[in-house]
Structure 1
């Protein structure tokens, strides 16, 4: 449990004059409490007050897991036949609520739950606290960096398994299954997103769907995967050639590699985030592939696989020591295939560190 993080949130609530914060997003809950679960339709929420102890609401079946995190504050458990909102309402009625608003995660909250929260204190406005929470999560601690580094090593391993599994006639889904099987053997129970193994024309879709398509000679094979390790995510992409590639395919690959290499050189504290996207985009455009680079250069990485900062060309924020994010240029040509090269990056006092280290030189396998 992270009491210091809760204290920072409480301080912010007090400064803003807010009555309390209602937190139910999976990543934010984990960040503030150390408790991570998939509640499905059941309510799991953290209520943080500016001047009182926080309270956590969860199903009875989760109570022991919550206590295992070190949670020592009040805990409201409930059965499937009980209404957790009524229990929370009763708890709140036991002391005076002070403040003019309730801080919520507007982007994550359903209308149904927003209405339920409003009923707790009808006279209070609902305001958004997501940006404050994301700013709190932006700079990683030493312990977070250690976990991100280990998660990155496991992502490297996943790519290694996938590359070694390439064989004529083997399908994308077969290779995907082999990757995840070997990661599970290492204790990984959750991937940070749906693993991608895309070949040939399929690789031209940045977020394509792996299928029963057999891998064929002369194709790009794109691997995009990541793991969740003790609540922290990794995200790597590598692209290889299966068999001999054409000159055009090699040009695409080397253009993407150059774009990533040159962009990484600019990853240091003080650099404007948007300049990273512009750097990669200028290299890819100059090579004649500008229209085939349809996404931003990267995204933040932490308790979620996509979080702040957003590395798009309009972002005028600056890199800070302790930020972690991806750098992932790509070129995707319909009918031909696509290349993406992605690393997890940490900003250090001396520049940057690539947490993912699987080799990036072009290889033609088989």
Structure 2
């Protein structure tokens, strides 16, 4: 369970960032942000002044929020006419996370608080949340161990003739039995995900999801993940799942095959592992994110696989790693244009993958934390292809 000291430290860091930017306070509305800074994910708004004590204003459920919240001033959301009284005249500039705030909500608060300037604190919030505390890293290690234990069971139920969706169902059943929460929260607009994917015959299908592998899915309305196509011998089977425990997400991919792999796929897998190992070794504070992406792309090019790196030719994703935590798409991103240095405690899923139309998809993914010694692997399971 989240501790009061943990929440207090998060509030202190946020208040320091607000004062540094000359912002009088933060109005947090997005549920997972409210949880991060309060300890409860009830329907609530959190007001954090740059100086002074925060207030949690709860719409529903107030009784549960009072049980869970670590904010001393937790109470009901006030009537509209009373809401402005919570903000003194000295409060002129208010930070809101524009990256996830609907226009309707913005207009609602702007009407309640006329004369105030609303500024974007999405970057402040995401950078603060990207650096995990020792408490958070322990949660993520536990998530990694639980997810790895489910992956270990795959050889016991993967068989030719079963459909991709059958494999997915078997995996998801065990993941849920292990206590997996299933909520794969994503901040990006127009992205959605049902826990993960288990794909083989349809692995090369392109799709909307901002990642290297999409799968065909079950319909045009759900065009991601497993399909009803059968798994056959000598075809790579990619199993890519998140593990969500105590709110914290880890991300992991392993490769399986009933039979053997084509030499081109074996070479691509060896390249993927080499890229992962290089990036992981260099997950150190001060290393610039985009430089790791450039090196990964260079290694793919050198292996003759540049056009297949991180997606089918012409459908390539433009990253090799993404931050994870309470959301699947946190900072940092190992991508071109992300010119910021890594920080100790950030957690990154490294996922070099190759899509070879006509042959299949191959790759690896593990979650690591940034440390002085390089990436600490959180998803502790052997990376080898599992031959059945």
Q: TM-score if structure 1 supplies the norm length?
A: 0.89
Structure 2 partner of 1:81: none
State the Cα distance separating 1:342 from its structure 2 match.
Answer: 0.7
Q: TM-score if structure 2 supplies the norm length?
A: 0.84
Pairs within 5 Å for 1:1-366: 1=4, 2-36=7-41, 44-77=44-77, 87-93=79-85, 96-192=88-184, 193-194=193-194, 195-203=196-204, 205=206, 206-208=213-215, 209-293=225-309, 294-295=316-317, 296-365=319-388
For these two proteins, the number of residue pairs brought into alignment is: 352
When structure 1 is superposed on structure 2, of 323-332 and 200-209 the one drifting more is: 200-209
For residues 349 and 56 of structure 1, what CA distance do their matches in structure 2 show? 37
State the Cα distance separating 1:254 from its structure 2 match.
Answer: 1.7
State the Cα distance separating 1:94 from its structure 2 match.
Answer: 5.4
Structure 2 partner of 1:80: none
| Distance change >3 Å, CA 325–CA 346, structure 1 → 2 | same
| Distance change >3 Å, CA 309–CA 212, structure 1 → 2 | same
State the Cα distance separating 1:103 from its structure 2 match.
Answer: 0.8
Deviations 1:178-232 (A, max 9, x none): 2122122222222534220011342565122211211111111111111222121
For residues 95 and 289 of structure 1, what CA distance do their matches in structure 2 show? 57
Secondary structure in 2 aligned to 1:202?
A: coil
Q: CA contact under 8 A between 2:283 and 2:342: conserved in structure 1?
A: yes
Q: CA contact under 8 A between 1:17 and 1:99: conserved in structure 2?
A: no
Secondary structure in 2 aligned to 1:309?
A: strand
Secondary structure in 2 aligned to 1:219?
A: coil
State the Cα distance separating 1:242 from its structure 2 match.
Answer: 2.5
Deviations 1:132-187 (A, max 9, x none): 11121122111111001111112212322334321121111112122122122222
When structure 1 is superposed on structure 2, of 256-265 and 283-292 the one drifting more is: 256-265
Q: CA contact under 8 A between 1:196 and 1:223: conserved in structure 2?
A: yes
| Distance change >3 Å, CA 50–CA 270, structure 1 → 2 | closer
Secondary structure in 2 aligned to 1:298?
A: strand
Secondary structure in 1 aligned to 2:337?
A: coil
RMSD between aligned residues: 2.1
Q: CA contact under 8 A between 1:198 and 1:222: conserved in structure 2?
A: yes
Q: CA contact under 8 A between 2:62 and 2:75: conserved in structure 1?
A: no
Q: CA contact under 8 A between 2:200 and 2:360: conserved in structure 1?
A: yes
Q: CA contact under 8 A between 1:203 and 1:222: conserved in structure 2?
A: no
| Distance change >3 Å, CA 289–CA 89, structure 1 → 2 | farther
For residues 46 and 335 of structure 1, what CA distance do their matches in structure 2 show? 52
For residues 113 and 383 of structure 2, what CA distance do their matches in structure 1 show? 55
For structure 1, the 5+ residue unaligned runs are 78-83
Secondary structure in 1 aligned to 2:61?
A: helix
When structure 1 is superposed on structure 2, of 165-174 and 247-256 the one drifting more is: 247-256
Secondary structure in 1 aligned to 2:381?
A: coil
| Distance change >3 Å, CA 307–CA 323, structure 1 → 2 | same
Q: CA contact under 8 A between 1:204 and 1:337: conserved in structure 2?
A: no
| Distance change >3 Å, CA 307–CA 212, structure 1 → 2 | same
When structure 1 is superposed on structure 2, of 193-202 and 329-338 the one drifting more is: 193-202
For structure 2, the 5+ residue unaligned runs are 185-192, 207-212, 216-224, 310-315
